[in-house]
Amino acid sequence: MDRPKLEVADVFRRYGEAYRQEHDASMSTAQRRVMTAIEVCRTAALGGHLERCDECGHERNCFNSCRDRHCPKCQSLARAQWIEDRQSELLEAPYFHAVFTVPEEIAAIACQNKGLVWGICG
């Protein structure tokens, strides 16, 4: 997968500190922590490790990831896996996928009886 020209980390590294100063009072500690994690993800700040290909033995140095669940880089593999999993579920026939919201009163019941309710909908 090609690296995008501009990543969230690039924006945070360039404008993050100014943003934090301007919005100091309204930002939570968790939000600051996420911004910092994204800024330093896969940089020398987090150190590195050596990766080795199991097939050919090729080695390369890689910076460590932040592993924050909000980090777009760290979630890219999970996202790709999710898409692959969903694509494997696609039927080889024309059909459409419907998403809808049930009334709040039914949602609580549906949440407790997922298998039964999803079967009714499907």
Nearest distance, CB of residue 34 and Zn ion, angstroms: 10
- Closer of 19 and 63 to Zn ion (Cβ): 63
Counting contacts by CB under 5 A, is residue 66 touching Zn ion?
yes
Nearer to Zn ion among residue 74 and residue 110 (C-beta): 74
Rounded least distance, CB 65 to Zn ion, Å: 5
| Cα within 13 Å of Cα(55), Cβ side | 0
- CA R_g for the chain: 21
CB closer to Zn ion out of 1 and 25: 1
Determine, following the binding rule CB under 5 A, whether residue 8 of this chain makes contact with Zn ion: no
CA of residue 116 relative to chain centroid, distance: 30
Give 7 or 20: the residue with its C-beta nearer to Zn ion.
7
The first and second tokens of residue 89, run together, are 């579920």
Where does this chain touch Zn ion (CB under 5 A) — which range of 14-22, 44-52, 73-81, 88-96?
73-81
- Report how far residue 72's alpha carbon sits from residue 78's, in angstroms, rounded to the nearest whole number: 10
d(CA 9, CA 34): 11
Cα gap 47→50, rounded to integer Å = 11
Site for Zn ion, rule CB under 5 A: 41, 65-66, 71, 73-74
